[in-house]
Amino acid sequence: MRAGFRIALGAARGNVFGMVLLQGARLALLGLVIGLFAALAATRFLTSFLYGVRPTDPLTFAVVAALLVAVALLACYLPARRATRVDPLIALRYE
């Protein structure tokens, strides 16, 4: 409901949309960095399962990272869009 308060106080709906999307993107990038370090640490154990690709193949890491970021941003899009449609009066009454 924080988006409703911001809209009630005069924030533009585009700013609220960007704020919600940015919060999701920050979490996605944090998870991506942690996952990247975990994947690099696990390559020694996964070498026997990989055929035809090096354990630290930069192209594979880049494609998977880009795909995960795209999915995370898509998953943040719907809540961000819904946050812009919150009625400010209902948000203020709720609290």
| Each residue's pLDDT tens digit, 6-27 | 777 788 888 889 988 999 999 9
Structure tokens at 69: 């970021």
pLDDT at 1: 56
pLDDT at 5: 73
For 51-95, give the DSSP string: -SS-TT-HHHHHHHHHHHHHHHHHHHHHHHHHHHT--HHHHHHH-
Average pLDDT, the chain: 85
Kindly tell me if the per-residue pLDDT of 95 is higher than 70.
no
Q: For the CA atoms of the chain, what is the radius of gyration?
A: 19
Which residues are CB-neighbours of 7 under 8 A, at least 6 positions away? 13, 16, 84, 86, 88, 91
| Each residue's pLDDT tens digit, 44-65 | 787 777 777 777 788 888 999 9
